[in-house]
Copies of this chain bind each other. A is one copy, B any other.
Amino acid sequence: MAELRKDPVVGRWVIISTERARRPSDFAPQPVQRVGGLCVFCPGQEAHTPDEILAVRSPDSQPNQPGWTVRVVPNKFPALRIEGELEPSGEGLYDRMSGVGAHEVIVETPAHGAALATLPEAAVADVLWAYRERMRDLGQDSRFRYVMVFKNHGEAAGASLEHPHSQLIATPIVPIMVTEEIEGAERHFRLKKRCIWCDIIRQERRAGGRIILEGEGFVALAPFAPRLPFETWILPAGHRSAYEETDVRELAPLARLLGEILRRMGRVLGDPPFNYMLHSAPLRAGLLDHFHWHLEIIPKLTRVAGFEWGTGFFINPVPPEEAVQYLRGEVPGSPVS
């Protein structure tokens, strides 16, 4: 049974996930999961995953059968369990809570060898729609306070399966990094009465050196203080706090921009391992004036070592202004033109 535990000094929660418990000898890199040589996320293998929660599929097809283009299933080895009540408990200095949550996999395409970057725009929009629907549905469950949608692409970014997929984890606690973002944004709002991300977009538009691309209501930019080389954020140009409130008509332009950014990263950096994380407002927070949802994309080109782990200070060898020139195709000989 998984359990949430809180560090008594800094207040960071961790998930102690005994569902995934392993002996020391089991820490060698895990091979890609296949069943009899077949990938469990491929069409025809639906019986090897838990029953689907949501799918985009042809009208004449049946659940848990082929005929889908996007398929959402519970993670077979979930970090948190969907059953049970929240049971906080204390033990002297320490706090714990039952490991209740949701852990789902969004299979992005039936094509094992495809990549999100190269799917047609409408297929990417369907993936983005699935994120929205799952956040809306999980938001009905009062046990959950937050849904983090994320993608691990490539082994160095933590992907254990090759078939294109993203994941989401719903947690009963608002994660500390989201809380820190919200607190920083609230501080700014109290002083200025403006959303800090709206201010960032305004300042970047005036200065120009860190915007990679704008398109139909969305902006892709390199942040002023990126943790990692080529870190890129995608934000709605207008103020929006909750991703799940995105209008379905906005999904196509968002899919277009996301696909274009991933393709450019792929060309400039040679299909790098990457993660992306969708930072949206906490569930049921209502429309927040001070929070602005954004998608953070981080290629994994450098290793995070002791200094970063100890300090939270990142050493980034690529100024964002240079990364932007590559991603805009302004560097002679660069593969983006």
Spell out A's residues near B (CB within 8 Å): 5-18, 20-22, 24-25, 27, 79, 92-94, 146, 148, 150-152, 155-159, 167, 169, 171, 175-178, 180-181, 184-185, 188, 196-197, 199-200, 203, 207, 223-227, 229-230, 268-270, 272, 275-279, 296, 298, 301-307, 309-320, 322, 326, 334
Which residues on B sit within 8 Å (CB–CB) of A197?
9
Closest to A274 in B: B306
A225-B181 contact given A24-B269, A279-B310, A315-B79, CB 8 Å threshold: no
Q: Are B309 and A13 in contact (CB under 8 A)?
A: no
A269 to B22, CA, bound (A): 12
A22 to B228, CA, bound (A): 13
Q: Are B176 and A312 in contact (CB under 8 A)?
A: yes
Q: Are B93 and A199 in contact (CB under 8 A)?
A: yes
Closest to A151 in B: B306
Q: Is the interface of A mostly helix, strand, loop or mixed?
A: mixed
Which residues on B sit within 8 Å (CB–CB) of A302?
27
A8 to B189, CA, bound (A): 12
The 7 closest A-B CB pairs, nearest first, are: A158-B305, A277-B310, A150-B306, A175-B311, A275-B306, A177-B312, A5-B225
Closest to A2 in B: B315
Which residues on B sit within 8 Å (CB–CB) of A146?
311
A-B contact pairs, 22 of them (CB 8 A): A8-B200, A9-B181, A10-B181, A11-B184, A12-B312, A14-B225, A14-B227, A16-B320, A17-B317, A20-B315, A21-B319, A22-B229, A25-B270, A27-B269, A93-B196, A94-B224, A94-B225, A148-B307, A157-B303, A157-B306, A158-B303, A177-B312
Taking the closest CB of chain B, its distance from the CB of A4, in whole angstroms, is 9
Q: Are A177 and B14 in contact (CB under 8 A)?
A: no
